[in-house]
Every structure is written in C-alpha cells, then in structure tokens.
Amino acid sequence: MAFGPYLLLATLEGLVMAAVLALTALGLSLVFGVMRVVNVAHGEFFMLGAVLAWWVSSLVSGNPAIGFLLALIVSPLIVGAVALVSERLVLRRLDYKPEATIVATIGLLYIIQQLVLTFYGPEARPVVAPFDFRIRLPWFGYSSYKLAVIAASILLVLATWFVLTRTKIGLVMRATQYDGEIAQAFGVPVDRVYAGVFALGAMLAAVAAVLIVPIQQAHYLMGLDPLLLSFIVVIIGGLGSLRGTVVAAVLIGLSDGIISVFFSPTLAKIIATSFVALVLVFRPQGLFGAETR
Amino acid sequence: MTEIRTDKAVKSSGLTRRTALKGLGAAAGLMMGPGFVRYSQAQSAEPIRIGFQCHRTGIGAAYGRWYERTTNAAVKLINEAGGINGRPLEIVVEDDGTDPKRGAEVVEKFANQHKVDLVYGTLFSHVVTGSAPAAGELKIPYYVVSEGYHVASGKLNRYCIQPGITDVKAQVRSVAPWIASNIGKKVTLVFPDYAFGHDHRDFFGPAFQEQGGEVVAMLPIPPTETSFTRYFPQIPPDTDAIYHVMVGPAVLTFVKEMGEFFGSQGPALFGFIDSLEAVDLASPGLEFLEGSHFWEGSPRYLQPDASEAQKFYRDAVGIDENGASVNDPKDVSTAAHMFGCWETLYVIKAAMEAADYKGPEDRAKLIEATEAMTEFAEGKEHPQGDKTFNGKIHQCFGHQNISLVENMKLKVVHRTSIEDGIYEPEADYMTMPL
C-alpha cells in the first residue's frame, strides 16, 4: 500500500481511538478536578456501560438502531446511578480522603468486575451497530460507523464544555473545584456537587463504552486498557483541565494510531509512557494544568 | 502513613504478628491432626481426589466453564461405573485466574493443603508453563489439556503429561498439506505474540514449505490488542490465504475489521477455531467467515456421520446439535478442545488401574504406567477418535478436522490421518529421574 493511503488509514484509526479516549479521560479528569478523588474504578464504569449496552440492545428486537439508541440513553443512566450509590455509600463516608478513596475504588473495581463475571459471564458479546455500510475507498474499505463515533465524540465533548462553562451547574462545579470551602461558604451545596460530578464522570465513561461496543465487544475485563490510557491522558493533559484532556487524548490517540501502523503497537505504548514520565519530571502539573495551590 | 498507624495499633495491643501466627498455626495443627490420621488408616475407602486447575476467571473463563462441565460429566459416569480401583473419584476445583503465577500457587495448594492425588485440567499455555515447575518440584502428576507444544518439547518435566489432546505442532503439520493443495501456496500468518502463537509461527512455516508452500508475511499481534485494521496493510497483495489464530475476546473485532478492510476481494481464510470457541458463529460481524475454513479438534456441530461414541459424549456433557448447551442455545461450548478433559480422565483411570494406584506414594508408578501406553481406541472413553501416545514426549496424537463455514455452521470437509501429524520426538522424559 502506498504511503498516502497508509497514512490516511493510520490517522482514521488514531482518531477513533482519540474520540473514545477523550470521553473516558474527561470523566476521570472531572472527578479528580472537582473532588480530588483518583477513581481507580473508572475503567469498570466503562465496562459496565458496554455490558449494559449489550443487555439493553438484546431486549429490543427489530431494527438494531433502536436497541442501540436505547442503550445510548439507558446504559449511562444506570451507570450514573451505580456511581451515585457508590459515592453515597463509600466515598462520602471516607470523607474523600485521597489514600482511602484510592483503596476504596480499587475495591469497587473488583466488586463490579466480579459481579459482571457472575451475572453476565466470561464471553465477549457484540452489539450490532445502528448502521454499518462499508465505505469503499480506492485502497481499502472503512467502516462508516467508526466515522460516526468520531463525530459523536466531538459533539459530546462540546456539550460537556458548554455545560461546564455556560451553565449554572458548570459554574457551581468550577467554584467547588477552585475552592470547596469557600464555595460552601457561599451556599454551594458541595456535598451534592460531589455526588453529581462522580455520577457524571461515570456516565461519560459509559457513553464512550456504548459508542465503542459495536466495534469492540462487551467483555468483563475490557475496563483495564481504558483506565490506563485515561490516566496517561489525564497526566499529560493536566489533572482537572478539560482542554488539556482533549488535546492529550488526540495526541495519544493519533500517535498510537500512526506509530502502531508504521512501526509496532509496542513502540507506540513505549513512547506514550515515556512521554508521561517526561511530563511528570519537567511539567508535573501537565501540559495545561494549573499549578497546585 | 498507613504503616505508622498499623505499627501503633500492634504495639498498643501487645500482640505481635509472630505470636498471632504461632497461635493460629498451633490451632490449625490440632485441627488437622486427627483428620490426617483417619485418612491414612481408612485409605482404601477414601475417594481418589483430583485437583482441577480451572480457568474460572480471567481470559480463559469461557473455556474453564466448559472444561468444568465436561469434567463433571465424565466423573459422574466413571463413578456410576464403580470409580477407579473401587474408589470413587472426587474433583477439587481451584481457580487459577488464567494467570501463570496463580497457577503455580494453585498446584502448591493442591499438593500441600488439599493433598490431592494429582493435578489436572489446565488449558492456557502460559499457565501450564508457569505451573509445571511447581508440579515437578512437588513430584505431583500434572495432566494438562492444553494443546501447546511445551509438553512434547521436553522443556517441562517428567510429571507433566498431555494424553487427551494433540499438540499444536502435530495439528499444524496435519493441516499444512490440505491448505497447500486446496487453498493456496502463499500464506500470511496472523498469530498472537506469545507462546501459543509462537508454536504456530515456528511449526507451520517448515511444514508448509515441505508441501511446496511459502509463508509470505508474519503478523504477530500483542495479546491485549483490541483493534486490528492497522495491521492489515502489512498483508502482501499476492497473499492467497490468511492463516489466522487468535485467542481472546477481541476475535470478533478481528473478523469484522477484516471484512470491512477487504470486502469481497480479500484472500481466502484458514483459521484455528480456538479464536471462536464459545462464540456463536451466527454473531453479527461474522458473516465474513462464510466460505472460509477452520481447524477443529472435535466438531462443534453434530455431523451426519458422527459415531455413536461421539453422540453419547455430547449427550452426557449436555450439548445440542449446534454445540451449544442444551439448556441455553446461546451458551456455545468449546467443543474443539473440551473433549480432551473427558479423554484425559479416562487415561488417568486406565493408568491408575494399570499401576494398581493406592495413594500419593504410587505417583511415580502412575507416571510410568501412563508412559507405557501406546494406543487409545475410539469409543465412549475416546469419543474424538483413536489416538496414539508417545511415552517419551508424554504426548498423544489424533485425527484433526478441517471444517467449512456453510450457512454459519461448520461442516467437516476433511479428516486428517494420525500419521499426518507425527514428527520426530525431540526429547525423552523417560530418561529423567522420578
């Protein structure tokens, strides 16, 4: 295959990865930014989103698009509810102490994973894409659904950005992120903001999972990779910075796509992790993160 | 910070970890003692206990579930027929998480805690390789149903035996002539980049060359990969066929993306069903496999010419004519491999009877009795077909099936002979001390 089409394929693959990564990492970044909680169970919320998508779409017969659209709405809602309950029952009782919440979310990770294994089973199960015609390029074919994933992700990131910067909810979140105590003194219900943010973070991961599940399959161990990559993205972009997270996701997604097509996937991972190390040494707050106060 | 807190707590209560452990140890000793005495006195009435190292969780969980069902079915039959040497058979299951480190721990647990007679049942090659040294050190027989070449290679030890399923080297040698004469001479290999995939990489090429074929490209895929489109440009345009063997949950993606990439113009496909064990062939995205061929150890779909033994075995395990559970048509079995559990248990039974096995002190005799076996006849004990056994390399050799995907079902179109897969042994376990 000639260099041009080869590069096009690599870029497309990289963008699909970046699209999913941006949404997942955004959730992680939001939770850390506002609550200062490192949510190790974030990948499991992603997995739960995918598994629920399979469950919802398997309940609906007829046109696959109906099942998929229903999953796109129902699955994030259920995942958000699970996150809300675990926030109330676990994180809140630990007073959001950083060390305790890390251990608690590790526990949550295993609980969710093993429950899914018990009730859903060890198989990888597919969800039918809402539409799936093959775009025939002169050099290779490509899935139209993958292009739709990129578009949907851009829309969702824009929507998140709009909520955070242009609405009252966003204002309250940003106030809590800036200084929780002062925000509380000004009458911001910090406690409820925390609950909402944790649920929202999990829902973003779930949406990303529903988008990816017609391409990959729902499997109970699928949460690990997105978790690691989200951490990489969030560290590079700067914890709590929305812009940084999106830029870093595109950067990591594209470099992974292009490097693994032209060289090897292992090299792509090596470069991404070395980049994390360099960022931590030379710019610990991340590319776009603010200095910690 | 946490450590400091723990220290304080320990000091203030005046109880050190060492004292606590001593107390616990003494209590455990008191409890174990009488039981142990009773066991050794009444040995002949006690059941023979087999430790089943099972992939209940981890990436092998779908295999593990069916290995367990097959094992339970065979054990039930053996016990109904009077057990082994008049003693009932009891299976003790431990989950290894499809993880080599955990696998070695499980073998130790079986030997020292459960005190089973032998360990059995492992599939994934990295778990076998990780657990084998523990079995060798503890001198406990380790019967695997793994199909990797590691047992036959001679790199493990005399306690590791694979009598129920043909190894990968023999499998690829069996199918190579058929591929060369029916599919094409130029093949691209797609394989997972670890031990099991390396067996395919190392043995298919030479076997295929002997048949006048050529491997034009090799694509190792990291085992955790979730997206494959990026690899397809590396497949040379003059490839006649893609030989694919992938294991893991991503296989549906692999097939689907191959379909998107090549459309109807692509090369022919020959795959190892390992990729699609426990996966319904009618799954969305798998339409691209229509008309392609697969290796199968034992046919998933009930074939019109199936033997009585095969039908008996399928009924006993509880799979329908589509190879799915009789209770749930969506619960597809790992039919191409799990027969190995059934057959291995019957080999253990035969070996224990030949060795007049009494208890763990006869473990060496059990190994020697297994090594002395040469042939297994087709029948209810060996429903997949007849096999030969080479005691030097602890490996059996059987017939392989090549199946065509037709109307999203697998139809056996060729059955290889045992001789097709035979190779020169590279080791002799029988010279190793027991």
State CA A91 to chain mean position distance.
20
Q: Is A124–B285 a contact, with Cβ atoms under 8 angstroms apart? A: no
Determine which of A123, A260, A263 to mutate to test the interface with B (most B C-beta atoms within 10 Å).
A123
Q: In what order do the strands lie in the sheet with B395-398?
A: B375-376, B387-390, B395-398
Sign of CA dihedral A157, A158, A164, A169: negative
Q: Is B194 on the interface with A (CB under 8 A)?
A: no
Structure tokens at B357: 């096995």
In a domain, B38, yes or no: no
pLDDT score for B248? 66
What is the distance, to the nearest Å, from the Cα of residue B57 to the centroid of all Cα atoms in its chain? 15
B188 vs B18, more confident: B188
Please indicate whether, in this complex, the C-beta atoms of B64 and A117 are within 8 angstroms of each other: no
B111 secondary structure, DSSP code: I
- DSSP annotation string for B53-82: EE--SSTTHHHHHHHHHHHHHHHHHHHHTT
Considering only the beta carbons, identify the residue of B64, B229, B249 that sits closest to A217.
B249
User: Is the residue at B147 inside a domain?
Assistant: yes
pLDDT at residue A1, rounded to an integer: 66
Chain B closest-CA separation from residue A143 CA (Å): 6
What are the residue boundaries of the structural domains of chain A, listed by start?
3-129+141-282
Instruction: Quote the minimal CA–CA distance from B332 to chain A in Å.
Output: 10
Mean pLDDT score across all residues of chain B? 89
In a shared domain, residues B252 and B277: yes
Q: pLDDT tens digit string along B257-280? A: 888 888 888 899 999 998 889 888
Predicted confidence band at B341 (pLDDT cuts at 50, 70, 90)?
A: very high
Stretch 361-380 of chain B: residues touching chain A, C-beta under 8 Å: none
pLDDT for A79: 97
Q: What is the pLDDT of residue B423?
A: 95
Say if the Cβ atoms of A260 and B230 lie within 8 Å. yes
How many CB atoms neighbour CB B255 within 10 A? 25
Disruptive mutation site among B63, B229, B257 for chain A (greatest number of A CBs within 10 Å): B229
Average pLDDT over residues B333-338: 95
Helix, strand, or coil (residue B49)? strand
pLDDT of residue B38: 42
pTM beyond 0.95: no
Pairing of strands B48-54, B118-120: parallel
- Note whether A140 contacts B252, CB cutoff 8 Å: no
In this complex, do A215 and B227 lie within 8 Å of one another by their Cβ atoms? yes
pLDDT score at B42: 43
Contact A265 B230 (CB under 8 A): yes
pLDDT in tens, B272-325: 998 889 888 888 778 889 999 999 999 999 999 999 999 999 999 999 999 999
Best of A21, A149, A215, A260 to substitute, by most chain B Cβ atoms within 10 angstroms, is: A215
pLDDT tens string B133-175: 999 999 999 999 999 899 999 999 999 999 999 999 999 999 9
Q: Are residues B187 and B282 in the same domain?
A: yes
Residue owning tokens 């130029």: B186
Q: Chain A residues with CB inside 8 Å of B233's CB?
A: 1, 6, 9, 140, 261
User: Quick one: pLDDT at residue B1?
Assistant: 42
- The per-residue pLDDT for A290 is 66
List, in sequence order, every residue forming a beta bridge with B220; answer none if it has no partner.
B191
**Single-letter residue type at B57:** T
pLDDT at B225: 80
Other beta carbons within 10 angstroms of residue B305's beta carbon come to 7
Tell whether B15 is covered by a domain. Answer: no
Is the pLDDT at B33 greater than 90? The verdict is no
| Across A137-141, B115-119, B130-134, B422-426, least confident range | A137-141
- A22 pLDDT tier (thresholds 50, 70, 90): very high
Structure tokens at A43: 């990948």
8 Å CB contact of B260 and A257:
no
Q: Which fold has domain A3-129+141-282?
A: ABC transporter involved in vitamin B12 uptake, BtuC (1.10.3470)
The alpha carbon of A284 is separated from its chain's Cα centroid by a whole number of angstroms, namely 22
pLDDT at B6: 43
Query: Residue A215: its chain B contacts at CB < 8 A?
Result: 227, 253, 256
Q: Is residue B334, in this structure, part of any structural domain at all?
A: no
Are A241 and A290 within 8 A, CB to CB?
yes
Is the separation of the CB atoms in B373 and B163 below 8 Å? yes
Q: Which of B260, B262, B281, B289 to mutate to test the interface with A (most CBs of A within 10 A)?
A: B260
Q: What is the DSSP letter of B386?
A: -
Of B1, B224, B233, the CB nearest to A1: B233
- Test A126 with B283 for CB contact under 8 angstroms: yes
3-state secondary structure (DSSP) of residue B87: strand
Q: How many domains does chain B have?
A: 2
> Distance (Å) from the C-alpha of residue B224 to the closest C-alpha of chain A?
9
Does residue B278 sit in the same domain as residue B413?
Answer: yes
Sheet holding B118-120, edge to edge: B89-95, B48-54, B118-120, B142-143, B160-161
Look at residues B88, B139, B43 and name the one whose alpha carbon lies nearest to residue B367. B139
Q: What is the pLDDT of residue A260?
A: 81
Q: Are residues B141 and B179 in the same domain?
A: no
How many CB atoms neighbour CB B186 within 10 A?
17
- What is the β-pairing status of strands B268-272 and B241-244? parallel
State the CB neighbour count (10 A cutoff) for residue A24: 33
Q: In chain B, which residue's Cα lies nearest the Cα of A216?
A: B253
pLDDT category at B231 given cuts 50, 70, 90 is confident
In a domain, B329, yes or no: no
Least reliable range by pLDDT among A23-27, A146-150, B227-231, B420-424: B227-231
Are B184 and B291 part of one and the same domain?
yes
In tens, the pLDDT along A141-190 reads: 888 999 999 999 999 999 999 998 999 999 998 888 888 889 989 988 99
Q: What is the pLDDT of residue B223?
A: 76
Give residue B40's pLDDT band: very low, low, confident or very high (50, 70, 90). very low
The residue type of A51 is V
Which residues in chain B are contacts of A261 at CB distance < 8 A? 230, 233
User: Is residue B14 situated within a structural domain?
Assistant: no
Please indicate, yes or no, whether residues B163 and B56 belong to a single structural domain of this protein.
yes
Q: Is the domain of B139 the same as that of B197?
A: no
Q: CA nearest B261 in A: which residue?
A: A141
User: How far is residue B88's CA from residue B184's CA, in Å, rounded to a whole number?
Assistant: 52
Note down the domain range covering B55. 47-167+339-395
Tell me if B297 sits within 8 A of B385, measured CB to CB.
no
Q: Which residue of B has its CA nearest to A14?
A: B230
Q: B207 and B63: one domain?
A: no
Closest chain B residue to A226, measured at CA: B226
- Nearest-by-CA chain A residue for B286: A126
Measured in residues, chain A has a length of 293
Is B263 close to A141, i.e. CB distance below 8 A?
yes
pLDDT exceeding 90 applies to what percent of chain A?
A: 52
**With 0-12 CB in 10 A as exposed, 13-18 as middle and 19+ as buried, what is A262?**
middle
Chain A residues closer than 8 Å to B65 by CB: 121-122
Categorize the per-residue pLDDT at A291 as very low, low, confident or very high, splitting at 50, 70 and 90.
low
- In 3D, which of B266, B310, B275 has the Cα closest to residue B412? B310
Are residue B210 and residue B148 in the same domain, yes or no?
Answer: no
Distance CA B141, CA A163 (A): 63
CA A128 – CA B230 distance, rounded (Å)? 22
Contact A220, B56 (CB under 8 A): no
- Tokens of residue B364, six digits: 């060496």
- The pLDDT assigned to B26 comes to 58
pLDDT tier for residue A129 given thresholds of 50, 70 and 90:
confident
Length of chain B: 434
B386-418 pLDDT, tens digit each: 999 999 999 999 999 999 999 999 999 999 999
* Window from A213-222, B81-90, B106-115, B244-253 with minimum mean pLDDT: B244-253
The beta-carbon neighbor of A122 closest among B61, B232, B283 is B61
CA-nearest residue of chain B to A117? B57
* B9 vs A92, more confident: A92
**Which tens digit of pLDDT belongs to each residue from B56-92?**
988 888 899 999 999 999 999 999 999 999 999 999 9
Size of interface A-B (CB pairs under 8 A): 82
Report yes or no: B53 and B103 within 8 Å, Cβ to Cβ.
yes
Pick A221's closest partner by Cβ from B59, B260, B262: B59
Q: What is the pLDDT of residue B333?
A: 95
What is the distance in angstroms between the Cα of A41 and the nearest Cα belonging to chain B? 18
Whether B42 and chain A come into contact, CB under 8 Å, resolves to no
What would the two tokens of residue B145 be? 């149903």
CATH number of the domain that residue B104 is part of: 3.40.50.2300
The per-residue pLDDT for A16 is: 92
What does chain A look like in DSSP terms, one character per residue? Answer: --HHHHHHHHHHHHHHHHHHHHHHHHHHHHHHHHH----TTHHHHHHHHHHHHHHHHHH--S-HHHHHHHHHHHHHHHHHHHHHHHIIIIIGGGTT-HHHHHHHHHHHHHHHHHHHHHHT-S--B----S--PEEE-SS-EEEHHHHHHHHHHHHHHHHHHHHHHHSHHHHHHHHHHH-HHHHHHTT--HHHHHHHHHHHHHHHHHHHHHHHTTTS-B-TTTTHHHHHHHHHHHHHH-TT-HHHHHHHHHHHHHHHHHHHHHS-HHHHHHHHHHHHHHHHHH-TT-SSPPPP-
CB contact under 8 A, B284 and A126: yes
DSSP lists the bridge partners of residue B93 as: B52
Residue B123 lies in a domain: yes
| Shortest CA distance from B55: residue in chain A | A122
Rounded Cα–Cα distance for residues B227 and B272 (Å):
19
Statement: residue B336 has pLDDT above 50: yes
Q: Is there a single domain that holds both residue B410 and residue B284?
A: yes
State whether A216 and B261 contact (CB < 8 Å).
Answer: no
Residue B153 has what pLDDT?
A: 94
Residues near A168 by beta carbon (within 8 Å), at least 6 away in sequence: none
Question: Does A231 score more than 80 pLDDT?
Answer: yes
What pLDDT, on a 0 to 100 scale, did the predictor assign at position B36?
Answer: 44
Answer whether residue B224 shows pLDDT above 80. Answer: no
In chain A, % of residues over pLDDT 70: 98
Whether residue B12 is predicted with pLDDT greater than 70 in this model: the reply is no
Nearest chain A residue to B226 by CA distance is A216
Residue B261 contacts A, CB cutoff 8 Å: yes
Residue in chain A lying closest to B282 (CA):
A126
B330 at the A interface (CB within 8 A)? no
Q: What are the distances in angstroms from CA B424 to CA B153, B165, B170, B388, B420?
A: 11, 18, 10, 14, 12
Task: Report the alpha-carbon distance of residue B67 to residue B53 in Å, rounded.
Answer: 10
What H or E segment, with its residue span, contains residue B119? strand B118-120
Q: Are residues B232 and A10, on separate chains, in Cβ contact within 8 Å? A: no
d(CA B270, CA B266): 13
In a domain, B209, yes or no: yes
- Taking an 8 Å cut-off on Cβ atoms, the answer to whether B233 and A6 are in contact is yes
Do B194 and B176 fall within a single domain?
yes
Q: Which residues of B touch A222 (CB under 8 A)?
A: 226, 249
Give me the residue label for tokens 């299951």: B93
- How much is the average pLDDT of A222-231? 91
Q: How does the average pLDDT of chain A come out, rounded?
A: 90
Q: Which residues of A touch B329 (CB under 8 A)?
A: none
User: Do B130 and B179 belong to one domain?
Assistant: no
B202-226 average pLDDT score:
90
Alpha carbon distance B55, A221 (integer Å): 14
Chain B residues lying within 8 Å of A8, measured CB to CB = none
Per-residue confidence (pLDDT) for residue B16, from 0 to 100: 64
> Does A128 score more than 90 pLDDT?
no
pLDDT reading at B431 higher than 90: yes
Q: What pLDDT score does B19 carry?
A: 60
| Exposed/middle/buried for residue B9 (C-beta within 10 Å: 0-12, 13-18, 19+) | exposed
Supply the pLDDT for residue B160. 97
For B400, phi then psi, to 5°, come to: -115, 155
